[in-house]
Amino acid sequence: MTEINKQLHETLIEILDFVKEICEKHELTYFLIYGTALGAKRHCGFIPWDDDVDIALPREHYNILI
């Protein structure tokens, strides 16, 4: 993994932590999907070449978040 990817993944973790805090504060359900979920399960982190975060919320929780 390149140094740029490592920095990117660290930033993405910070973003996920921020989203997690907001969702927990407002009792919103969220979950990881697509490459983010696969990376968490298969790589215990990110897929090395992944460069984004994929999350989903039920529609009613998404509407509250937005």
10-55: pLDDT as tens digits: 999 999 999 999 999 999 999 999 999 999 999 999 998 899 999 9
Pair 53, 16: CB distance under 8 Å: yes
**Separation between Cα atoms, residue 28 and residue 44, nearest integer Å:** 24
pTM for the model stands at 0.80
Pair 4, 12: CB distance under 8 Å: no
Mean pLDDT of 2-16: 90
**Separation between Cα atoms, residue 44 and residue 37, nearest integer Å:** 10
CA angle 36-12-47, nearest 5°? 35
Indicate the SS3 state at residue 12.
helix
Structural domain count, the chain: 1
Residue 22 domain boundaries: 3-65
pLDDT of residue 1: 63
